[in-house]
Structure 1
Amino acid sequence: MSVRDRVGFESDGFYKFATGVLTLFLVSISVFPILYTFLMTFRPANEFYSNDVQLFPTNPTLDNWTFAFAELGDALVNSFLIATGTTLLSLLIIVPGAYVFGRKQFPGKKYFFYIIIVALMFPYILLIVPISDFWFTLGLYDTIPGLWISYQLFVAPFAIWILRDYFAKLPRNIEESAQIYGCTQFTAFIRVILPMAGPAIVAIAFLSFLTAWNDFLMSSILTTGTGPRPAVVELFITVAGGDTSDWGLITAETLIIGIPPTVLYLWARQYLSESFEMT
């Protein structure tokens, strides 16, 4: 081996070693807080206030998980119903709306789309009091359908903006080709356009579910203790209630609430990457 080849081999080996060390360091920074939080859920209350810093609990217990599931049982069901209903309703509104804005022409199209853009920038916190009063009048206050409709204010403008570009970039002759083979305009939309827009629709559904699952402001204002209070609000009550914080219970509830969106993301991540590459 010549001197030049040996120097190149050594520099290449050093580069791989440095890359491996840097990667391990970055992964450790990301994984360690999650691991430490997970281990905290098995720690009894008295160990949180000791002077010793320990990674693993001395006397591990499952009490925190038991209490967390007991406190979040009904709230998790409420969160699932709220997030699922919000997702389905948003798809019924967003998919046809984005398709019309992306592939059809109609009077005032540009100005209606400007209204959607303005809605994206509007501070929704200003609508909390009017919505609460209006929902109370309509009988939607402290109900799951009331939350379904309320979350469309967050979801619909952004989702239409994203999905419109996806529909607009699909080839223009797709519907015409489908109609030549016997499809109507509606069946061409159902059988051709929707399957091609599948990744974007899955991405929008994921974002809708995530918005409804994680929201605190709207759900805390529009629900009461006797109504369909979601899990995020129950977590806040656990954090804010009492003179001392039960960190084992708080971390257990946090992980329980975070598991469903994480599982959903792992399933939808391929569709998410495809949709954002297209847009």
Structure 2
Amino acid sequence: MTEYEYNYPLYRPPSEAYSLIIQATLGCSQNKCTFCSMYKGKKFTIKPLEQIKEEIDFFRKHIRKVQRIFIADGDALIIPMKILKEIFLYINERFPEAERISIYGSPKSILLKSDEELKELHNLGLKLVYLGVESGSDKVLSYVKKGADRREIIEAGKKIKKAGISLSVTAIAGLGGKENSNEHALLTADFVSHINPDYFGILSLMIEEGTELYNEYHQGKFKPLSNVEILEEIKLIIENTNVIEKCIFRSNHASNYVPLRGVLPDDKENIIEAINYAVKNNRMKKDSLRAL
């Protein structure tokens, strides 16, 4: 292989900005969520193992040192264990200096792996799984066609933690619209409290053209929250999130109106104060308000 080009669009978590991305799958195995346009133009495909190895060889030839590796696309954890294990073994062989391998995981892909398989992946270098929770409300999850219910998502989150793998979960403020805002916030907070993930991020809903939710919005079936209501919903989530172990919180994605950060539970009041200040002074997107 003399040259290589990713299959676009290519997505990765913000914290993987400096990671080597190995695109082992194309698209998302679920790809039915009504709010998401990320992989709508891609048919989900698991690349042949030999092709993945060739691409890993290409990166080894051109990159001197790699600290972190992210396996893409969406939900690459769905790859059957026999093949996924071979990918990890080859990464370890070719990039022995890598300190961390991370991956997107859906509730389905996590639950398809046994406890022993997840522990084996952890021993092979899988240190972090990103899980899109979206909401803790079954009503909202069903409405947006998440493909998993609250019980399954809680089970999946606990399974990752049990395997010794760090867990990063994200929820979407505003996903329940005006009708389900309160339930969405309270049950999302309850979910996070149950799981106590290592990282918790909140995005703000962006209604994107080409999605089912976009059509429902223009048909008047979905009533979105205002900027202030989004912030009030985030505040309600934070107020009702009660974790025992430290959880790094971030709400500083490009979709967010006010960048927020802190460590729960220690910085809960600081985060709430930052939100109150932003609402009172209408400082959204003007200042980079931080809880720390």
TM-score, with structure 2 as normaliser: 0.22
Larger RCO (alpha carbons 8 Å, 6+ apart): 1
Larger Rg: 1
TM-score, with structure 1 as normaliser: 0.23
Relative to its length, the structure with more strand (as a share) is 2
